[in-house]
Amino acid sequence: MIGYIDKIKEISKGLLEEKKVDMIIGFRKGTVPMINEPCVAKTSADVDNFVWDSSCGINLANYLTGRKEKIGIIAKGCDSRNIVNHIIENKINREQLTIIGVPCKGMVDRSKVKALVSSDIEEVIEKEDTMVISGADFEKTVKTSDVISKNCTICMHRNPVIFDELVAEEVDEQKDVNRYEDIDKIEAMDSGEKWNYFEDMFKSCIRCYACRNACPLCYCPTCFVDESKPQWVGKSQDPIDIWTFHFLRAYHCAGRCTDCGACVRACPMDIDVRLLTKKLEKDCFEMFNWEAGLSIDKRPPLDVFNADDPDGFIK
């Protein structure tokens, strides 16, 4: 994956020079290890700052909402699915976009890597399939595939589903993964266990809304938690209000979530928020055979009615 960058730069420069786009959304090198920063390139010189490695986890589709320019955008499998969502939901026009597709083998989970060492990580150098992690008093090599995010380990669409340019040959899609292992575990709990599980899970939430704001689906002009007339949710640290926010937000993502993991990646408190959306993603898959963001020609299941829609919930 680290070899992609030359091709990314070549395509980007070409698009800018030929004035096919006004800007390109990509990543520049982060100031701390394992997180690169989304940025805009408007000139070839800007493009020289672009990087590509396993620290480009942030979902760039989030930066498209409502933009008017002609935009080039670098897109992993999940980003491309959220671009599809955006097109379906009229948040961007397909014609505005030149999608530079990037086949992906998964993006690194910073906390997984941090947990492997006892002191501060100062530098991470990425090789083809490994990462060399170093700090003041240590150096350690890890296999990149061992430290990618949970959602990446079960990703079924590593290749962009929609693109205008592809920077490399497609990677093999994963087979024989249990996509719903975590959800199965929670489903097997009795209601008391579930209560305790979620109570513990959201205990550290500080309501910074990073999960919501990092999510490409959460573009409502006014989120329900910010409404004042009527005020649906209290503003304090009352757990009921915190849960209400998370549960309702998840439901709002039903049939739309691509399990890109943006919410978890953004959470400063390491809350595994995507467990909620994953359950709904599972339900959509099982009930409607639906995976979000695969085609701009199909309407999402909650947008349409079919006579044979499952109705088992009506008792």
Partner 1 sequence: MQNPYLPYPVRIDKITNATEDKSLKTYKFVFLDPDDERKFAYKAGQFAELSVTGKGEIPIGIASSPTEKGYVTFTVNRVGLVSSYLHTMKEGDIMGLRGPMGNSYPWDALEGKNVVIIGGGFAFTTLRSSIVYMLDPANRSKFKDIHVVYGARSPGMLLYRDELTKWEERDDINMHITVDGTDDPDWKYNVGFVPTITEQKAPAGNDDTYAIICGPPVMIKFTQPVLDKLGYTHDRIIMSLENRMKCGIGMCGRCNIGKEFVCKDGPVFTLSQLNETPREY
Partner 2 sequence: MKVIKIDKQDFTSGIEKLADSYRLFGPVKEKESYAFQKLEKGQLPDFNFKNTRLSIKSVINPQSEVMFEYSLDEKQTDHHVMKEAKKDYSPRAIFGVRPCDGKSMVLVKPNFDTLEYKDNYWLDSYNCTTFVGLACNDPCSTCFCTSAGSGPFDETGLDVLLIDMDDYYIAKAVTSKGEALLSAASWDTAGTLDDVEDKKSKAEKKIKTSVSIDNIKDRSINEIHQASFWEDIAFSCINCGTCTYVCPTCWCFDIQDENSGKSGVRMRNWDSCMFPLFTMHGTGHNPRGEKTQRVRQRFMHKLKYYLDKYDQGIQCVGCGRCIQSCPVNIDIRRVCNIMNDYNYE
Q: Which parts of this chain interact with partner 2 (CB under 8 A)?
A: 30-32, 35-40, 58, 62-63, 111, 114-115, 119-122, 135-136, 204, 206-210, 212-214, 226, 234-238, 265-270
- CB closer to partner 1 out of 208 and 269: 208
Q: Which does 146 bind (CB under 5 to 8 A by kind): partner 2, partner 1, none?
A: none
Length of the chain in terms of residues written = 315
- CB closer to partner 2 out of 268 and 310: 268
Count of residues that bind partner 1 according to CB under 8 A: 3
Q: Which does 307 bind (CB under 5 to 8 A by kind): partner 1, partner 2, none?
A: none
Token output for 231: 């005020």
Residue 229 binding partner 1, by CB under 8 A: yes
Token output for 91: 């948040």
- Look-up of token digits 């990037």: 102
- CB closer to partner 1 out of 229 and 315: 229
Query: Least CB distance from residue 115 to partner 1, whole Å?
Result: 36
Residue partners of 141: CB distance under 8 A and separation at least 6 = 130, 131, 132, 133
Instruction: Give the side-chain half-sphere CA count within 13 A for 160.
Output: 25
Query: Least CB distance from residue 23 to partner 2, whole Å?
Result: 10
Dihedral angle sign, alpha carbons of residues 99, 105, 106, 107: negative
Give the Cα separation of 259 and 265 in Å (integer): 11
Alpha helices in the chain (DSSP H): 4-17, 44-47, 77-88, 110-116, 150-153, 181-187, 191-201, 210-214, 239-252, 262-266, 274-288
- CB closer to partner 2 out of 121 and 276: 121
Q: Which does 196 bind (CB under 5 to 8 A by kind): partner 2, partner 1, none?
A: none
Closest CA to 48 of 39, 35, 57: 39
Single out the residue of 231, 236, 237, 295 in contact with partner 1 (rule: CB under 8 A). 231
- CB closer to partner 1 out of 231 and 237: 231
How big is the CA angle at 98 (ends 97 and 103), to the nearest 5 degrees? Answer: 120
Give the Cα separation of 312 and 256 in Å (integer): 22
Q: Which does 229 bind (CB under 5 to 8 A by kind): partner 2, partner 1, none?
A: partner 1
Residue 228 binding partner 1, by CB under 8 A: yes
- CB closer to partner 1 out of 187 and 238: 238
Query: Least CB distance from residue 226 to partner 1, whole Å?
Result: 12
- Of residues 76-105, those binding partner 1 (CB under 8 A): none
Residues forming the site for partner 1 (CB under 8 A): 228-229, 231
